[in-house]
Structure 1
């Protein structure tokens, strides 16, 4: 189904609207979805996951396929559930009615809805355990979808929540047709291992007490290590054969001087190889791996692109190489062509 359904005037207005959404850059804050994870495992990234049949697909690097919004996208027949990552949210109001709310899926929800897709933006405990977040995800889908089959698109830790919900919880009144994960740490993260190692076991209880003191859960942090994800979570969370699994990864070059990803990118490059600043390409692979987005950070993936970087590229005559809105519209198009 075309993104542009009405007369030519309406089509032009819709296209202009989506273009404005796509061109908006977002907050460069790292508060959106930064997953700290645990225990520091040093091993050559090239051999970490050898032998796993899920990772035998040939890597496909995607350079500028999603630089611009196309004129036409097919529309999937089932609603899309957007599942956020660690420390994420659907909508966050920091100053009541004084300032507009901050959206995790910046401009993405509106663009999908403009293409005739029913979109459900789920909200789960920001730093809860996978089990807590998965239970809330199932409850939310059951309440909002009202028995409709759904496709889930999940960013970062949201992919782990969805996998656990599908495999272990199997909530009533929830039927998932497909799960597409975007930079989800299916095999854990070396940066999580590094952070917990730096904190140290003697200081960890005090760290958790502080986090809990500001009203946050701590269950997520110890579950995102390479050891836990590889040996425990994946072993007890088999795929559902009735669900289609797709995944995307991303990698960025050396982050600029003031990037929040400078340390994490270096640690992960040394231990896991190419990464988006928080999740490695190797860890992103699950099910049908669709490819690696090149030159894209973990926050770029949800349209939280650094405004200064975007402006400087424009001044230097360099066009955009990645547009998050075009990317998610293309995922929806892919789902439609898979009859989902």
Structure 2
């Protein structure tokens, strides 16, 4: 028995939902380069499955509003697992989808034991607000186009308080991603944060203040917003990912998250 098998045998098995963020599932990169590992959560599902977990990665409307996306997420969970406990690991808008789902679906509210929200803008992001009201950032015609096709971006805009309350009985873990610790891997997202004046520290899109709510457990990762799911913004790491490379550190982070579920 090798070390990996021993590790897998010693871990509790969980049902885990990977809930993607905005634009997840779009064919934005060439399939010939990405293959199976072109998933939104880059290489994460097969790694968690190799550790003995049951994992689904539902496809929800990529640019849909939270209400629409949450409904699709709930349908996928009910179809895959009609009963039994489960946990959700969500990135960005996927965390807001899940928080809405917890409020509107009483059955899943009882069954979802943990929500791990990675880089989720509970209080919104200035980047999204600038897309909706792009004064000074986008030229006139592009501004009109942005407003007309905002979709789920509207649910990511800055707000004074969370859109949904916490639900009793659910464990909440927030993962804040710090682009300032990402080195050259977070270059583009750091510049994005500077351009849109995202409060420091941030992952390039979401500030710590927005990513972490009072009363939630907090974990910090040294990656940018894309690096949190295996798509760092810096060269050459992004190109390495596009051609199939999966950072072992990324897989270890998700294995550690799964180890926290109970």
**Bin of the TM-score, shorter chain as denominator length:** 0.7 to 0.9
* Runs of 5+ consecutive residues of structure 2 not aligned to the other structure: 240-246
Instruction: Indicate how the Cα distance of structure 1 residues 162 and 127 shifts in structure 2: closer, same or farther if over 3 A, else same.
Output: same
Quote the offset at 1:271 in angstroms: 4.4
Quote the offset at 1:203 in angstroms: 6.5
Match of 1:224 in 2: 156
Match of 2:128 in 1: 192
Quote the offset at 1:151 in angstroms: 0.4
* Runs of 5+ consecutive residues of structure 1 not aligned to the other structure: 1-6, 16-70, 212-217, 312-320
Quote the offset at 1:243 in angstroms: 1.1
Match of 1:280 in 2: 207
Match of 2:35 in 1: 100
TM-score, normalised on structure 2?
Answer: 0.80
Q: What CA RMSD, in Å, does the superposition of the two structures yield over aligned residues? A: 3.5
State the SS of the aligned residue for 1:246.
strand
Partners of 1:136 and 1:185 lie apart in 2 by 20
State the SS of the aligned residue for 1:292.
strand
State the SS of the aligned residue for 2:167.
coil
Q: Is the 8 A contact 1:79 1:150 kept in 2?
A: yes
TM-score, normalised on structure 1?
Answer: 0.63
Describe how 1:1-340 pairs up with structure 2 within 5 A.
7-8=1-2, 11=3, 75-89=11-25, 92=27, 100-101=35-36, 102-170=38-106, 175-195=111-131, 196-198=133-135, 199=138, 204-209=143-148, 211=149, 218-227=150-159, 230-231=160-161, 234=162, 237-253=164-180, 259-267=187-195, 270-286=197-213, 287-294=215-222, 296-305=223-232, 306=234, 308-309=236-237, 323-335=249-261, 340=262
Quote the offset at 1:201 in angstroms: 9.4
Partners of 2:217 and 2:235 lie apart in 1 by 30
Instruction: Indicate how the Cα distance of structure 1 residues 174 and 194 shifts in structure 2: closer, same or farther if over 3 A, else same.
Output: same
State the SS of the aligned residue for 1:125.
coil
Match of 2:244 in 1: none
Q: Is the 8 A contact 2:22 2:93 kept in 1?
A: yes
Q: 325-334 vs 166-175, which deviates more?
A: 166-175
Quote the offset at 1:194 in angstroms: 2.8
Aligned residue pair count? 249
Match of 2:243 in 1: none
Quote the offset at 1:248 in angstroms: 0.9
Quote the offset at 1:114 in angstroms: 0.7
Quote the offset at 1:99 in angstroms: 6.9
Partners of 1:132 and 1:226 lie apart in 2 by 20
Structure of greater relative contact order (alpha carbons < 8 Å, 6+ residues apart): 1
State the SS of the aligned residue for 2:192.
helix
Partners of 2:172 and 2:113 lie apart in 1 by 9
Partners of 2:102 and 2:78 lie apart in 1 by 13
Match of 1:55 in 2: none
Q: Is the 8 A contact 1:178 1:244 kept in 2?
A: yes
State the SS of the aligned residue for 1:304.
coil
Quote the offset at 1:253 in angstroms: 2.4
Q: Is the 8 A contact 1:256 1:262 kept in 2?
A: no
Quote the offset at 1:333 in angstroms: 0.7
